């Protein structure tokens, strides 16, 4: 098959999946309440934010099914592609990065008004710039774990720490099929070492103090499909295996406040030209998603 166009070239909506607001009044419907923002800062997360309707979910499910095939013509545009990040064939965790470059729907979720407005508020009302995306899929009956971790422990190649993660379900997520779990207020623990993402679920415990272990009380984040949860880059989170008859598909959008800089001269993402240490994160692969004009 012929190579496809790299959608990273386009920094605006390219489909009819979302309608971008044109006035301040039109943006109001997407704003989080003051109480929701306060909850995020106190506990490290805010959940239950609706980002997609059923028709949008179906478009993204179809795209997900297409691009997970290793022979997809856009496969070389992925930054990472793991048909199973776990080493256990009976404990499958599909995980990829870079699909925003491949399909129109996963490209346009970056500019979903409900997403960018919430991200703007949770990043202290700063302009929002894209970092990278992720897909996670836990198949029914043999879906694997995502070990306890902090996102920023894998992202120290960018500074300052002014990042944000948004997880959105394409299936209903519950304790039965491996929903996210958070450790409330763990974003105040500081930076911990990074364990293997699909390794021992409890690998992080070796790096915790006795006080932190005592406060380690997981809270399940059960969500209906199309709803999202946002969390702080230092919030400890993970998800258990899926042994249910229901798949657990989700996509993740990672962003940071505009003005974040590179902390390395090496590649930031596979195949992306390096941004020299100390230089601003910007350009084709790190588009500005939202700013107040």
**For the segment 123-155, what is each residue's pLDDT rounded down to a tens digit?**
999 999 999 999 988 887 777 788 899 999 999
Lowest mean pLDDT among 81-90, 174-183, 279-288: 81-90
* pLDDT score for 253: 98
More confident residue, 95 or 255: 255
- Number of domains present in the structure of the chain: 1
| Residue 251 is assigned to a structural domain of this protein | yes
* pLDDT score for 90: 59
| Residue 282 is assigned to a structural domain of this protein | no
Q: Can you give the residue range of the structural domain that contains 163?
A: 34-270
Q: By three-state DSSP, how is residue 281 classified?
A: coil
| Residue 8 is assigned to a structural domain of this protein | no
| Residue 25 is assigned to a structural domain of this protein | no
**For the segment 1-29, what is each residue's pLDDT rounded down to a tens digit?**
456 899 999 999 999 999 999 999 999 99
DSSP states of 54-73: HHHHHHHHHHHHHHTSTT-T
Q: What is the per-residue burial (b if ≥16 Cβ within 10 Å, else e) of 5-19? A: eebbeeeebeeebbe
How far apart, in whole angstroms, are the C-alpha atoms of residue 167 and residue 219? Answer: 16
Mean of the per-residue pLDDT values of the chain: 93
**For the segment 63-106, what is each residue's pLDDT rounded down to a tens digit?**
999 998 888 899 999 999 987 565 665 565 788 999 999 999 99
| Residue 21 is assigned to a structural domain of this protein | no
* pLDDT score for 166: 98
Residue 210 has pLDDT above 50, yes or no: yes
| Residue 188 is assigned to a structural domain of this protein | yes
* Count of Cβ atoms closer than 10 Å to residue 191 Cβ: 12
| Residue 118 is assigned to a structural domain of this protein | yes
Q: Residue 181 belongs to a domain with what CATH number?
A: 2.60.120.620
Closest C-alpha to 251, from 99, 145, 146:
99
| Residue 9 is assigned to a structural domain of this protein | no
Mean pLDDT of the region 171-180: 95
Q: By three-state DSSP, how is residue 53 classified?
A: coil
**CA dist list (Å): 111 to 2, 8, 30, 255:** 27, 13, 13, 12
């Amino acid at each position: 098959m012929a190579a496809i166009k790299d959608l990273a070239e386009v920094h605006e909506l390219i489909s009819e999946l979302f309608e971008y607001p044109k006035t301040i009044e039109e943006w109001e419907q997407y704003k989080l309440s003051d109480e929701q923002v306060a909850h995020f800062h106190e506990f490290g997360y805010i959940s239950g934010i609706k980002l997609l309707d059923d028709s949008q979910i179906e478009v993204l499910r179809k795209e997900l099914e297409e691009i997970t095939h290793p022979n997809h013509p856009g496969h070389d545009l992925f930054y990472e592609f793991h048909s199973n990040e776990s080493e256990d064939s009976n404990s499958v965790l599909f995980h990829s990065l870079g699909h925003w470059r491949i399909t129109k729907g996963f490209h346009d979720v970056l500019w979903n008004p409900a997403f960018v407005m919430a991200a703007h508020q949770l990043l202290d009302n700063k302009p929002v710039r894209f970092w990278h995306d992720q897909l996670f899929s836990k198949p029914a009956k043999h879906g694997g774990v995502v070990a306890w971790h902090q996102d920023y422990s894998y992202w120290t190649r960018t500074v300052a720490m002014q990042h944000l993660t948004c997880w959105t379900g394409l299936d209903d997520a519950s304790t039965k099929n491996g929903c996210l779990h958070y450790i409330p207020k763990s974003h105040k623990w500081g930076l911990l070492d990074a364990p293997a993402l699909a390794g021992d679920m409890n690998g992080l415990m070796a790096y915790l103090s006795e006080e932190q272990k005592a406060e380690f009380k997981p809270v399940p984040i059960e969500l209906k499909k199309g709803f999202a949860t946002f969390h702080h880059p230092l919030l400890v989170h993970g998800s258990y295996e899926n042994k249910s008859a229901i798949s657990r598909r989700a996509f993740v959008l990672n962003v940071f406040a505009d003005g974040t800089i590179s902390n390395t001269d090496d590649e930031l993402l596979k195949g992306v030209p390096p941004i020299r240490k100390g230089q601003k994160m910007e350009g084709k692969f790190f588009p500005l998603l939202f700013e107040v004009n």
